[in-house]
Amino acid sequence: MNTDEKLLITIIKISELYKKTSSSMLRNYGLTFCQHTVLRILDGSPNGRSTITNTSKMMLVTGPNLSGVARRLAKIGLIARKNDPNDERITLLEISPRGRELLRNISVEIDKLVKNYLQDYSPDQIFKMLMQLRKCL
């Protein structure tokens, strides 16, 4: 295996380890990793809203897969699903106040977990790594 491939495999391993560790923590809040990601995307979107299509593109999952996740989140009151008033073929997702509150409750643990992974790096080093990795996208 060449160094380039080793780098990409290491990135995948780190990602999978983070996903596994955070999934375990998120279960304590009744969420899956995917559900938490949807809430984070909506929380960071203008007016707390995004379409299923845009959200699925950001998550690199298919629309139908995201639809099931969105239905479950709506059922437990963490988001609302609405038809776009301009085009009823488009489904809008909107984070609820309860969803935002849950994210606030989770954020301390998530921040601690992330800091644990990156504790040996300065904010400047982390930013530089981020910029370098984004060039690959």
CATH number assigned to the domain comprising residue 28: 1.10.10.10
- Whether the predicted pLDDT of 1 surpasses 90: no
- Residue 61 within any structural domain of the chain: yes
Residue with tokens 């992330």: 114
Task: Write out pLDDT tens, residues 112-137.
Answer: 999 999 999 999 999 999 999 999 88
How would you class 15 by CB atoms within 10 Å of its CB: exposed for 0-12, middle for 13-18, buried for 19 or more?
exposed
Please report the pLDDT score of residue 137 as a whole number.
83
Task: Write out pLDDT tens, residues 49-108.
Answer: 999 999 999 999 988 889 999 999 999 999 999 988 888 888 899 999 999 999 999 999
Q: What is the pTM of this model?
A: 0.89
Structural domain that includes position 79? 13-134
Task: Write out pLDDT tens, residues 70-85.
Answer: 999 999 999 999 988 8
Name the phi and psi angles at 84, rounded to 5.
-65, 125
- Residue 106 within any structural domain of the chain: yes
